[in-house]
Amino acid sequence: TILSSQAQEESRNISENIRWSLRSKYEKGNPTINYNHFMGYTKGLDGKLQPVPEEALIVQEIFHLYLSGYSSLRIKKYLEQRQKRTVMGKNTWQATVIDKMLSNEKYIGAVLMQKTYTIDFLTKQRVRNDGMIPKYFVDGNHPAIISREIFYAVQEEKLRRSYVNRRLKGKISQYALSGKLICFACGSTYIRVTRITNGSRYFVWRCGSHINKRDIACPK
């Protein structure tokens, strides 16, 4: 029991020392990056990320496809159909990997450090850092392969799709535009309504909040 307690305390001390060392590096703006299997980049002679032209083109294509309306799953199928290889040289892509790529700030030349942290030094369990400990952001750390305009446009589109999916959860989209039109004034989704003028019937799209709540929630 005594030996076990000593071993546990030694493991704790090692973990604390490693944590302190990493945090000290982060505070100085020295990121720790896993250079292996990183689509679009490799380790340069200066120790920083260096773009790989062939892979960078694939990354840029992924971002443009997403802004064109493709989902991560559809992008996966698109790349496989055109026999685009992953960073590991495989023909099979993973939609979850593509989704993470679309949110990776390293593609704009920046590094956000301490996104996750270890909560148990024995099990080494790591969780997402939602503000429990400091995060460190280094801008201009390496050459970018995605413009900031495109990157932030993708982040906005991801939030919009997430919002729409939550509102339409369990509902069947009857029309092609269902859930895709968002009211600028209140954030509600548009719904299709029927109008009759001079005996002629036609369809228009109006804010769902405006229609259902009779102008109380939304003036549009």
Which pLDDT band, with edges at 50, 70 and 90, does 112 fall under? confident
Does the pLDDT value for residue 200 go beyond 60? Answer: yes
When mean pLDDT is compared across 27-36, 101-110, 152-161, the lowest value belongs to 27-36
Q: How many CB atoms lie within 10 A of CB 108?
A: 18
Question: What's the rounded Cα separation, in Å, for the pair 40 and 97?
Answer: 13
Question: What's the rounded Cα separation, in Å, for the pair 192 and 177?
Answer: 9
Take residue 161 and report the two structure tokens written for it: 């799709």
Q: How many helices (H) and strands (E) does the chain have?
A: 6, 8
Take residue 31 and report the two structure tokens written for it: 């990121």
Give the Å distances, CA to CA, from 208 to 117, 160, 164, 213. 42, 17, 13, 8
Residue 192 is given by DSSP the state: E
Q: Which helix (H) or strand (E) holds 26?
A: helix 2-27
Contacts of residues 43-48 at CB distance under 8 Å and 24 or more positions apart, as own/partner, are 44/142, 48/141, 48/142
| Average pLDDT of the chain, as a whole number | 80
Does the pLDDT value for residue 142 go beyond 70? Answer: yes
Q: What is the dihedral of CA 103, 106, 109, 115, to 10 degrees?
A: 90
Q: Considering only residues 31 and 77, tell me which one the structure prediction assigns the higher pLDDT.
A: 77
Tokens 């991801």, residue located: 158
pLDDT of residue 71: 92
Does the pLDDT value for residue 220 go beyond 60? Answer: no
Predicted TM-score of the model (pTM): 0.66
